[in-house]
Amino acid sequence: MTNPNKPTQNEVTASKESAPSANFIRHIVAEDLASNRHAGRIQTRFPPEPNGYLHIGHAKSICLNFGIAAENGGQCNLRFDDTNPAKESQEFVDAIKENINWLGFNWSGEVRYSSSYFEQLYGFAVQLIEKGLAYVCDLSADEAREYRGTLTEPGRNSPHRERSIAENLSLFTRMREGEFVDGLCSLRAKIDMSSPNINMRDPVLYRIRHIRHHQTGDAWCIYPTYDYTHCISDAIEGVTHSLCTLEFEDHRPLYDWILNSLDLESIRQVSDLSSSDSPYVLPQQTEFAKLKINYTVVGKRKLKQLVDEGLVLGWDDPRMSTLAGMRRRGYTAASLRNFCESVGVARSESQVDISMLEHALREDLDNNAPRAMCVLRPLRVTLTNLPEAIELSLQNHPKREEMGRRTVPLTPEIVIDRDDFREEAEPGFKRLVNGGEVRLRGAYVIRCDELVRDADGEIAELRCSVDLATLGKNPEGRKVKGVIHWVSATDGVPATVRLYDRLFTVANPESKDVEDFRTLLNPDSLRVLEGCLVEPAAASADSALSFQFEREGYFTRDTVDSTNGALVFNQTIGLRASH
């Protein structure tokens, strides 16, 4: 669902241009425009596989692909590379579209699918067979791995490599018609089994899978591989710059081989540029480093494992590195865009400290989140000489008057946080102590006169007197240093508050030295506090979702669980770094 309040593409671009970072791809694009390589066209694409939810690493790729296009007056397609229906679903398709919109970007035209090109892809495979550049191979998956060789030993030719063109065409047709069971044979490119690049050792182009596809239904029982599909889909869409992460660097020779082995005019005829007078130039693949952040995992298999094994509460669990989880936790789209811009785009892999991400988040929330008060661990306070409830007018943001003011009820019974009271004074403690004074945020100075204990001897209530001359004024003849937050005990709204810590206890849970990343999960990554009280203005249905709860941190209302009268706030981040 599109967010009506998201920034426009121009606003996103302007934000990027105001704080440019190291980005070698910008220079490549600028050079191509200067040389008129693509007749002044810039066309990118964001090509997710719909086999999971997008994560923080995808945010970098989204910002790069959509940003490069926007900065240069170009276009960016959204294309689902949906060639493996066994692991894909419509749920993932829908979630990906929603997250891209939320992040602040709009794709060009309609959503695209590689599956929409299945007929053209099949035709190009036939063309490769007719050129003697592809053959049907009967080796099993295990046999093919044995023939493939190793990083130090060349592979061996398949015994079916020299089949005639006519036989290969017949077998490939029979594959499409469903005559063969899964795994019985495959279509392979005929390149070089002795190549030092294993990706060039006769890679598989098509495999048999009798499985229903979420877009094409039962129309196909053979599916093209990602490597074969990706480059041709780029060419069909007229992509000029195919931006990929570094693990595809060794796949680039195959990307180029496939496109250069096909008839260029036949590609153009089925492409989006078929009616254009512009010269047709094949896309170029350029690789950049993935975004890796410490204390997180971004591998899809690991994220899926966390979900499937119930180690987290779904793909949108606020502890997850998925965009859905980060959004639910209260991360803002602007903070993620600014973070991706600040880390830049490099050619070499590196790990970014999570503090950079947290800094971008705090900076955005500090400037934009309205203030409110919430008491996490309530301790009842009776204001013995406050004659009746009064309404206070407090500013929503101390530095932004345009954000307005809110009404906060001060009643004879309030709650403060238990951590803000000590029965006996301690060195450096500047909050409320028995017999001492403290100021209530935006209200009066109060003095603790009496403690009320329960049957177990625990402090159940404080009885305090109010200095009625201190509303907006300092008391005369004495100095009160402490200021604490509070909420009306009678008008405050009950809420559940979730406090979050990092999901993993070590900086690099995806290290090659880690045998089982699940053993590194932080058992204290989630704490749930019941019986909290939040001021009414922060609980109303038409209020903002995210707040700075004064003196506690930044929190966002959980729109998933805040239903049927329940009110749930997720801790987004503390006021300052705690690690």
Please give the full DSSP string across 261-291, using - where no structure is assigned. Answer: HS-HHHHHHHSTTTT--SPP---EEEEEPPP
Instruction: Single out the residue of 560, 52, 16, 534 nearest to residue 303, CA to CA.
Output: 52
Instruction: Single out the residue of 461, 543, 462, 431 nearest to residue 495, CA to CA.
Output: 543
Residue 485 known to bind ligand: no
Residue 578 is predicted with a pLDDT of 63
Residue 57 known to bind ligand: yes
3-state class (DSSP) for residue 390: strand
Average pLDDT by consecutive 10-residue portion of the chain (579 residues)? 39 40 86 91 96 96 96 96 95 96 96 97 98 98 95 96 98 98 97 97 98 96 97 97 95 97 95 86 94 93 96 96 96 97 89 94 96 97 95 95 95 97 90 95 96 94 96 90 96 96 94 93 96 93 87 93 82 84
Residue 481 is predicted with a pLDDT of 85
Residue 21 is predicted with a pLDDT of 52
CATH 3.40.50.620 fits 9-115+227-356, yes or no: yes
Residue 38 region by backbone torsions, left for phi larger than 0, else alpha for psi between -120 and 50, else beta = alpha
Tell me if the pTM is above 0.85. yes
Residue 271 known to bind ligand: no
The shares of helix, strand and coil residues in the chain, as percent rounded to the nearest 5, are 30, 25, 45
Residue 81 known to bind ligand: yes
How far apart are the C-alpha atoms of 199 and 184, rounded to whole Å? 22
Answer yes or no: are the C-beta atoms of 26 and 58 closer than 8 Å. no
Tokens of 477: 């003849």
Instruction: Single out the residue of 41, 112, 66, 78 nearest to residue 276, CA to CA.
Output: 41
Residue 7 is predicted with a pLDDT of 42
Q: What are the residue ranges spanned by the domains of the chain?
A: 9-115+227-356, 117-225, 379-490
How far apart are the C-alpha atoms of 507 and 296, rounded to whole Å? 8
Q: What is 240-254 written as a DSSP string?
A: SEEEEEGGGGGGHHH
Residue 554 known to bind ligand: no
Residue 61 known to bind ligand: yes
3-state class (DSSP) for residue 230: helix
Q: Which CATH superfamily is domain 379-490 in?
A: Ribosomal Protein L25; Chain P (2.40.240.10)
**What are the backbone angles phi and psi of residue 252, rounded to the nearest 5°?**
-60, -40
Q: What would you report as the CA-atom Rg of the chain, rounded to the nearest whole angstrom?
A: 30
- Let me know if the fold of 9-115+227-356 is the same as that of 379-490: no
Residue 57 is predicted with a pLDDT of 94
Instruction: Please name the amino acid found at residue 402.
Output: E
Angle subtended at Cα 248 by Cα 242 and Cα 254, rounded to the nearest 5 degrees: 85
Instruction: Single out the residue of 524, 53, 570 nearest to residue 298, CA to CA.
Output: 53
- Other C-beta atoms closer than 10 Å to the C-beta of 481 total 9
How far apart are the C-alpha atoms of 134 and 381, rounded to whole Å? 81
Residue 349 is predicted with a pLDDT of 83
Strands (E), 61-200: 75-80, 112-113, 134-137, 186-189
Residue 55 known to bind ligand: yes
How far apart are the C-alpha atoms of 11 and 34, rounded to whole Å? 25
Tokens of 67: 């940003």
Name the burial class of residue 391, with classes exposed (0-12), middle (13-18) and buried (19+) by CB atoms within 10 angstroms of its CB: exposed
Name the burial class of residue 42, with classes exposed (0-12), middle (13-18) and buried (19+) by CB atoms within 10 angstroms of its CB: buried
Residue 539 region by backbone torsions, left for phi larger than 0, else alpha for psi between -120 and 50, else beta = alpha
Residue 104 known to bind ligand: no
Instruction: Please name the amino acid found at residue 306.
Output: L
The third-level CATH classification (topology) of the domain covering 117-225 is Glutamyl-tRNA Synthetase; domain 3 (3.90.800)
Residue 226 known to bind ligand: yes
